[in-house]
Structure formats: structure tokens, C-alpha cells
Amino acid sequence: MSKAQTTASPKRQLNKSHSARTKVTREARAEYIVTPRVKKFSECVLGLGKFTQGDCLDVLDNLPADEFVLAFTSPPYLNAINYSQHIDKIKGQVDYWRREDVSYDEYRQFLIDRFTALLRVVKPGGYNIVNISPVGWNGERVALPFHFVSWMEQIGWKFKEDIVWEKSIARDRRSGVLLQHPYPGYYYPSLVSEYVFVFQKPAAKKDRENIYWNRSAEE
Ligand SMILES: C[S@@+](CC[C@H](N)C(=O)[O-])C[C@H]1O[C@@H](n2cnc3c(N)ncnc32)[C@H](O)[C@@H]1O
């Protein structure tokens, strides 16, 4: 490995892995991290709107600044699901998928790049709603949502609300251990909820309090 490669910043190293994508197996690296950042996405018009499919970073980079009032997203939760193999599993083509090998720093940078790009296209006073949850990683439960809020504040998003999404169909029996062993050391709460955070793009008072204040009668 050359000196330039060894001293590259984490972002440069990520780009390096983009160009070397053909050598990287699905199992070895996260598909969404190694997806090459080329201006390549497809669009499908639906009524007055359209669907765009591609890496959201490419898509966002091609959208106008200060345009959108609301973004709603559920980003990948670290390596909680291997999306490249998830569909194969649903189709019954594989019995299980392997967790992807992503460093926490790579994952943090992945999110920061994309939520920075999102900040540019949202109108001042506009909102960004994000669903995220703690995940099991390297044998530990990681406080991902709590780290995430701080990353978002560093990018420039203003934290507004935290909503707890109670997942009525979630089934988790971790708390059952306490029934078998009724001692404090055996307490594991069941995991049946996730977070939904509301962020706002900083704005002058009028836009901050009501982004629609200057709407025309037709709008
Ligand atoms: C937590 S899931 C959210 C699923 C979504 N709520 C749904 O109902 O389809 C994260 C999704 O982000 C997608 N994804 C991963 N990396 C992406 C990227 N760079 N750009 C756009 N989408 C990405 C994954 O394929 C996955 O569908």
C-alpha cells in the first residue's frame, strides 16, 4: 500500500474502496458503504410526483438547494440488516444473511455525508424526521440514536422532538429471563420500540415558527 493510501482520511479511504468495488465481496463489506458515488439513479414519474432510485447522496447532490419542506427517512441501522442479502432471504434463496463488516467510524461518516447533503436541499425552517434505534454490534448494544442526535447537531440540524414508536407487532422475550431468575441482575427490558426524531433546518423566526407564513392563496 502506498504512503498516500495509508495516510488518507477515512473519507478518502471510503472513496478508495468505491473504486476497488469489484474486488470487494458482499460478505466482506457493507453494500451501501461501497456503492460507488456516481451520478447514477433512475426516476419514475407518479402523478404529480416521482420516485427516484439510487444512492441518496447522488440523488440529493442533484436537487436544488432550500427547496423541500419535509424529509422522512429510516437510514440503515449500522449492520442490523444486510440489505444486499435481505431480499434473497425473503425470496427463500438463502437461509440467513451475515451481518456486514462496517466500522462505526465509516458508518458515522456515511450518515454525516448524507444528512449534510439533505440539510442543503431542505428549506430553512423545514423538517427532517428520522427513525433510528439502538442496535446490537460486536456483542454490545450501541446507543446509536443518542450518538446520532449529537452528529446531527454538529452538521447543523436543530433537534426538535423525540417520538417513541411503540411497535405493536414487535415480539421480544428478553424480559422473560426475569421470570425464570427473579433477581435484578437478570433484568433485560423487551425491545419493542424505536425512536423517531424530528430535526429542523435553522431559520429566521418567521420560517422557524411557521414555514408556510408566506404561502399564496392557491398554495
Ligand atoms: C432501515 S431500512 C428502511 C426501510 C424503509 N422504511 C422501507 O420501508 O422500505 C433502510 C433502507 O435504506 C436503504 N439504503 C441503504 N443505503 C442507502 C443509500 N446509500 N441510499 C439510499 N438508500 C439506502 C436500504 O436499502 C433500506 O431499504
Give the integer Cα–Cα distance in Å for 66 and 82.
33
Give the integer Cα–Cα distance in Å for 12 and 89.
33
Residue nearest to atom 4 of ligand 1 (CA): 74
The whole-number pLDDT of residue 85 equals 63
Question: Bigger pLDDT: 146 or 83?
Answer: 146
Question: Bigger pLDDT: 12 or 178?
Answer: 178
**Residue pointed to by grid coordinates 433485560:** 188
Average pLDDT over residues 28-33: 42
Domain ranges of the chain: 62-209
**Over the stretch 141-176, which tens digit does the pLDDT of each residue have?**
899 999 999 999 999 999 999 999 998 887 777 777
Q: Using the mean position of ligand 1's atoms as its centre, give its distance from the Cα of residue 147 in Å.
A: 20
Please determine, for residue 72, whether its predicted confidence score (pLDDT) is greater than 60: yes
First and final CA of the chain: distance in angstroms?
Answer: 58
The whole-number pLDDT of residue 84 equals 65
The whole-number pLDDT of residue 81 equals 62
Question: What single-letter DSSP state applies at residue 193?
Answer: E
Please determine, for residue 24, whether its predicted confidence score (pLDDT) is greater than 80: no
Determine contact, residues 125/201, Cβ cutoff 8 Å: yes
The whole-number pLDDT of residue 168 equals 81
Q: Using the mean position of ligand 1's atoms as its centre, give its distance from the Cα of residue 32 in Å.
A: 9
**What is the share, in percent, of the chain residues with pLDDT greater than 90?**
41
Bridging pattern class, strands 193-200 and 158-166: antiparallel
The whole-number pLDDT of residue 22 equals 36
Q: Using the mean position of ligand 1's atoms as its centre, give its distance from the Cα of residue 199 in Å.
A: 19
Please determine, for residue 5, whether its predicted confidence score (pLDDT) is greater than 60: no
Does the beta carbon of 144 lie inside 6 Å of ligand 1? no
Does the beta carbon of 32 lie inside 6 Å of ligand 1? yes
Question: What single-letter DSSP state applies at residue 87?
Answer: H
Q: What is the pTM of this model?
A: 0.76
The whole-number pLDDT of residue 110 equals 92
Give the integer Cα–Cα distance in Å for 175 and 181.
10
The whole-number pLDDT of residue 97 equals 59
Select the CATH number that applies to the domain covering 62-209 from these four: 3.40.640.10, 3.40.50.150, 3.90.1150.10, 3.40.50.1950.
Answer: 3.40.50.150
Does the beta carbon of 76 lie inside 6 Å of ligand 1? yes
